[in-house]
């Protein structure tokens, strides 16, 4: 029971602000006479997908020699097709605007089908080496597949996976457990992160301008900003010689992102830019030469206070919660 809301509803009804019908409904929810379990259902669905894909993966790993690649490929394909057909039958018709399905399980069955297809593709590529030396291109195929489904079914989840798969194709790891951008030449990866990030951000802005799935903008732009800032930050923290140049670049990029985010009232890119700039500055302040650690720590704290001031001022002037 939320006694404060229940009392508020009664007061608003008494004052004529709320009519009886909605007030009755709001009162029931506040008094816990009606409780939603949507979150629990969605969590169970996600956990189910996680367990099922892990089980299928383990099955393939342990049994592929005994059963044979063709049978395994067909079996996973049938499972994937069943999920995608289910999703297709319950999906809203395609639209360039928002068109999400109201079904609580829709996102997860679609996710399961997509993951099974990706698993199948990866497995068949491993077994039959269809792409040979160019096997990393299957990551691009998967990214395009996820992207196609994301646009057809209006799924932010699949769009995120599509962007992550595209980044993986460019050699950038965004999954848990990675401590760097990926493995290999840091300079090349930095360049890949920057170019991929810019590409994502531009596509996000273009989708808004064209009015085609404009609500996907946050996925595109936030992913792009994350990659760009991650790329420049890796230069600040990863370079021994020219980190000062990278720091200047970071400050310039962060300022540009923060200014754009401020203008278009986008809080997450703004927050990312402020935090990234502060991290970069900390590197500069704390790793400088000399023995006056106290002064450097004090300066870092003062710069933190300045960053906090920027955040407070931006929040007040952006006039959004």
Partner 1 sequence: MKGAWVEAERVEEVRAAARGWKRAGAIGTGTFEEILRRYPEPRTLPAPLWRVVTFLLVSAILLLLGGALVAGLSPAIKNAPFWCASLGVAFVVVAELQARSRSLARRGGVEAASFWGIVALVGGIFIFFEESLHAGNDVMVNAGLLGAALLFGLAAQHWGNPAFAGFAAGAVFILLARAPQGRLLWVAAGVALSAAAERFLDRPSWAPSHRACAAVLVAVGLVGVYAAVNLYALDHRLVEKLGSARLDASGPSFGERIASMVLTALVPLAAVVWGIRSRRAFALDVGLVLTALSLLTLRFYVHLAATWLVLTLAGAALLLLALGVNRWLAKGAAKERSGFTAESLFADERRLRALELVPVVAAHAPESRPPVEPGYQGGGGSFGGGGAGGSF
- Residues 176 to 195 in contact with partner 1, rule: CB under 8 A: 176, 178, 182-185, 188
CA distance readout (Å), 171 to 141, 176, 192, 195, 315: 15, 15, 8, 12, 36
Could you say whether residue 288 binds partner 1 (CB under 8 A)? no
Beta carbon nearer to partner 1, 119 or 253: 119
Number of residues that bind partner 1 (CB under 8 A): 126
Task: Give residue for tokens 């798969």.
Answer: 165
d(CA 196, CA 188): 12
d(CA 189, CA 58): 31
Structure tokens at 255: 């300022």
> Do 198 and 244 touch, CB atoms closer than 8 A?
no
Stretch that binds partner 1, among 118-126, 199-207, 231-239, 246-254 (CB under 8 A): 118-126
Cβ at position 155, least distance to partner 1 in Å: 9
> Segment 30-89, which members bind partner 1 (CB under 8 A)?
30, 32-42, 44-63
d(CA 253, CA 246): 10
Which residue among 18, 149, 150, 247 contacts partner 1 (CB under 8 A)? 18
d(CA 127, CA 73): 10
Beta carbon nearer to partner 1, 51 or 245: 51
CA distance readout (Å), 92 to 96, 101, 113, 161: 12, 6, 17, 21
- Tell me the three state secondary structure of residue 171: coil
Which residue among 74, 191, 255, 305 contacts partner 1 (CB under 8 A)? 305
Cα diameter, the chain: 74
The per-residue DSSP string of 196-255 comes to HHHHHHHHHHHHHHHTSSGGGHHHHHHHHHHHHHHHHHHHHHH-SSSHHHHHHHHHHHHH
Cβ at position 250, least distance to partner 1 in Å: 17
Stretch that binds partner 1, among 156-164, 233-241, 242-250, 256-264 (CB under 8 A): 156-164
Stretch that binds partner 1, among 199-207, 245-253, 257-265, 299-307 (CB under 8 A): 299-307
Could you say whether residue 268 binds partner 1 (CB under 8 A)? yes
Stretch that binds partner 1, among 136-144, 205-213, 243-251, 256-264 (CB under 8 A): 136-144
Could you say whether residue 122 binds partner 1 (CB under 8 A)? yes
Which residue among 91, 149, 153, 160 contacts partner 1 (CB under 8 A)? 160
Stretch that binds partner 1, among 164-172, 204-212, 231-239, 250-258 (CB under 8 A): 164-172
DSSP, res 14:
H
Cβ at position 80, least distance to partner 1 in Å: 11
Stretch that binds partner 1, among 206-214, 227-235, 255-263, 308-316 (CB under 8 A): 308-316
Residue 233 CB partners (closer than 8 Å, separation 6+)? 250, 276, 279, 280
**Binding flags for partner 1, 225-264, as an x/- string (CB under 8 A):** ----------------------------------------
Beta carbon nearer to partner 1, 103 or 152: 103
């Amino acid at each position: 029971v939320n006694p404060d809301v229940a009392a508020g509803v009664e007061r608003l009804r008494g004052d004529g602000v709320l009519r009886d019908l909605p007030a009755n409904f709001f009162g029931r929810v506040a008094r816990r006479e009606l409780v939603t379990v949507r979150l629990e259902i969605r969590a169970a669905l996600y956990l189910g997908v996680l367990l099922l894909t892990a089980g299928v993966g383990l099955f393939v790993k342990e049994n592929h020699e005994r059963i044979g690649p063709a049978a395994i490929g067909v079996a996973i394909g049938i499972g994937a097709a069943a999920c995608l057909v289910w999703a297709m039958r319950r999906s809203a018709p395609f639209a360039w605007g928002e068109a999400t399905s109201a079904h609580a399980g829709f996102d997860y069955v679609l996710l399961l089908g997509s993951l099974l297809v990706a698993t199948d593709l990866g497995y068949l590529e491993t077994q039959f080496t269809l792409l040979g030396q160019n096997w990393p291109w299957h990551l691009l195929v998967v990214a395009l597949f996820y992207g196609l489904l994301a646009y057809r079914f209006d799924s932010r989840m699949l769009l995120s996976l599509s962007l992550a798969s595209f980044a993986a194709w460019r050699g950038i790891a965004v999954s848990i457990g990675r401590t760097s951008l990926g493995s290999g030449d840091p300079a090349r990866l930095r360049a890949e992160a920057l170019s991929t990030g810019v590409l994502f951000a531009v596509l996000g802005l273009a989708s808004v301008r064209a009015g085609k799935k404009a609500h996907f903008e946050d996925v595109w732009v936030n992913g792009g900003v994350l990659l760009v800032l991650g790329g420049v930050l890796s230069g600040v923290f990863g370079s021994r010689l020219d980190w000062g140049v990278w720091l200047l670049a970071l400050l310039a990029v962060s300022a540009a992102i923060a200014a754009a985010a401020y203008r278009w009232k986008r809080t997450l890119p703004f927050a990312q830019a402020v935090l990234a700039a502060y991290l970069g500055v900390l590197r500069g302040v704390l790793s400088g030469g000399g023995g006056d650690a106290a002064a450097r720590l004090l300066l870092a704290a003062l710069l933190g206070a300045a960053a906090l001031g920027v955040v407070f001022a931006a929040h007040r002037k952006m006039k959004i919660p």
